[in-house]
Structure 1
Amino acid sequence: MPSIPLGAPIWSDSLTADLAGDTAFYEGLFGWTSENAGPDFGDYTTFSLPGAAPDAPPRPVMGIMPCPPGAVPSRIWNLHYRVADCDEAVGRARSLGAAVDAGPESVGGMLRFAMLRDPNGASFGLVEPLDPSTGFGVWGETGSIAWAEYHVDGAPADAMRFYVDLLGWEAVTPPWEDPANPTPYAALSPRGGDVEFGGCHAAEGFEKSMPPQWSVMVMVADADALCAKAVELGGTVAAEPMDVPGLRVAGVATPGGTVVGVHSPRAWV
């Protein structure tokens, strides 16, 4: 499994009102395999890509679980960040203005986690792995999550200050940003700034009517073909493919409405 630094994304999952339907959709769309943990673990289902070698174990990508009674199904994938001590991190998050929605609580001997909302209201999770196998088994390859993105109707640097203080992130303005932009993009990396895992941008267009939130991007070979396949499988295109610097990005939704972003290398002509 990849080495996951403290503060970096460690896992992503979502709630579903149709476990069987979403499982079939994701398997057909991304070529994942799935494993249901059974009723003792709420039928939590983990999706994986094949191992890096023929005899290697599957590499976990993300998970879904059925909605508990009275809960609302996710319309996005939750994103969780690695911490050394979940209870201590939750305490610090509260002091920085976050609200706690669930936890901290333990899941067997695998992890201790909590779900929170940052000062802008965006949901996120904190995970303290108790087992070394906890978390992503792959990141940044075709068919796996490769990016995390946050949008906010305001200055990205201001929105990210909470996470910088809580998780020790580096949040920097990239060199390609227009110096005249009053709300420049913030590129995000764990403490040390070696590898970017995501970014924050100022909301534009329809995003201005949406609350601040995290989203994830799955790397695919061809975003346009992936969107067509999603429709064939009963899903919808939530955001039509478009070009951004170096990438072709889009959003697709399961038949139940959960949205995930996808991106592929931009075809230069």
Structure 2
Amino acid sequence: MAAPPEGTPCWADAMFSDLEGAKSFYGDVLGWTFGESSSEYGNYTQAYADGKAVAAVVPPMPGQEGQSQWCLYFASPDAAATAQRIRDNGGEVLMEPMQVGDFGTMCLAREPSGAVFGVWQGGRHEGFEAKGTPGAYFWAEVFTREPEKADPFLSAVFPYRMKDIVDDAVDFRLFDIGDTTVLGRMRMTDDFPPEVPSYVNVYFGVDDCDAAVARATERGAVLRFGPITTAFGRFAALTDPQGANFSVIDGAAAEGEMPEVKDV
């Protein structure tokens, strides 16, 4: 499998204080199965959909306990060079590039408006083994109150071409690599409680959005938005029982015309 192009979302993981609770929840909601926890790497535990690696869960390291949150990683051919561009463009490197055995090199950072993300320079582990299918990563959006900070940062750190959705009701930008759209950016409105910081919202595919929402809420998740049917699919936004935000989407249930876009 060829390494994904620079700037492509390539992996997602989250820390959970109750690791077994997280495995039970996502196993039920997304149909995930889990590999053996790797004690050598802090009990990092990969999740699988139909036998393909799609994400990972891990307990927090001592002193890092806090609200759980999904972290999206972007592919880089040189994590150290990406980390330098992050600094040069007003971002903050939270974890310097660190080699993880022969799996690859990781780095954690915060963009200037506050959203935390990861950088992954693949080695033996190149990233998602499946995308766009039930249980697998589907899409992601940076939710921010300050797009005037986030947008120039993202397009300086990664080789993105930007375009806007033409809609007076929302401020939504798309980021392309070549002819492929890989990321969205949504301006957070007053609908978001003021205590909610900027974050990256990760969408996972499901084969029935409403059924997935029902399973999630029965297990203690909070429904934040939807389900709603759009030209991209039927989706809903949720917060899991440990506080991590995520969305589910049934891409096969798409209805309506794609929105008009304009280059920036």
TM-score (norm 1): 0.86
- Mapped contact 1:76–1:215 kept (Cα < 8 A): no
Secondary structure at 2:191 match in 1: helix
Q: 1:243 aligns with which of 223, 228, 232?
A: 228
Q: Deviations over 1:138-165 (max 9, x none)?
A: 11112211111112224x4652211111
Q: 1:173 aligns with which of 141, 164, 170?
A: 164
What is the CA distance between 1:249 and its match in structure 2? 2.2
| Structure 1 outlier segments of 4+, above 4 Å | 265-269
> Percentage identity across aligned positions?
27
Q: How does 1:5-154 map to 2 (within 5 A)?
A: 5-50=5-50, 58-131=51-124, 133-154=125-146
Q: Distance in 2 between matches of 1:116 and 1:198?
A: 17
- Mapped contact 1:241–1:249 kept (Cα < 8 A): yes
- Mapped contact 2:6–2:75 kept (Cα < 8 A): yes
What are the ranges of 5 or more consecutive residues in structure 2 without an aligned counterpart? Answer: 257-264
- Mapped contact 2:3–2:122 kept (Cα < 8 A): no
Give the paired residue count: 253
Q: How does 1:212-227 map to 2 (within 5 A)?
A: 212-227=198-213
Secondary structure at 2:93 match in 1: strand
- Mapped contact 1:2–1:138 kept (Cα < 8 A): no
What is the CA distance between 1:100 and its match in structure 2? 1.2
State the match for 1:54 in structure 2.
none
Q: Distance in 1 between matches of 2:93 and 2:180?
A: 29
Q: Distance in 2 between matches of 1:208 and 1:244?
A: 24
What is the CA distance between 1:18 and its match in structure 2? 0.6
What is the CA distance between 1:112 and its match in structure 2? 0.7
What is the CA distance between 1:130 and its match in structure 2? 1.8
Q: Distance in 1 between matches of 2:96 and 2:27?
A: 30
- Mapped contact 2:30–2:135 kept (Cα < 8 A): yes
Q: Distance in 2 between matches of 1:267 and 1:109?
A: 40
What is the CA distance between 1:200 and its match in structure 2? 0.7
What are the ranges of 5 or more consecutive residues in structure 1 without an aligned counterpart? Answer: 51-57
Q: Distance in 2 between matches of 1:24 and 1:138?
A: 21
- Mapped contact 1:153–1:208 kept (Cα < 8 A): no
- Mapped contact 1:2–1:136 kept (Cα < 8 A): no
Q: 2:150 aligns with which of 151, 156, 159?
A: 159
State the match for 2:261 in structure 1.
none
- Mapped contact 1:60–1:138 kept (Cα < 8 A): yes
Cα distance change of structure 1 residues 212 and 5 upon mapping to structure 2, 3 Å threshold: same
Q: Distance in 2 between matches of 1:39 and 1:242?
A: 38
Secondary structure at 1:4 match in 2: coil
Aligned CA-pair RMSD: 2.2
Q: Deviations over 1:189-219 (max 9, x none)?
A: 22x1x22122112212332623221110112
- The farther-off stretch of 136-145 and 237-246 is 237-246
TM-score (norm 2): 0.87
Secondary structure at 1:205 match in 2: coil
What is the CA distance between 1:44 and its match in structure 2? 0.4
Q: How does 1:177-192 map to 2 (within 5 A)?
A: 177-178=166-167, 181=168, 184-190=171-177, 192=178
State the match for 1:196 in structure 2.
181
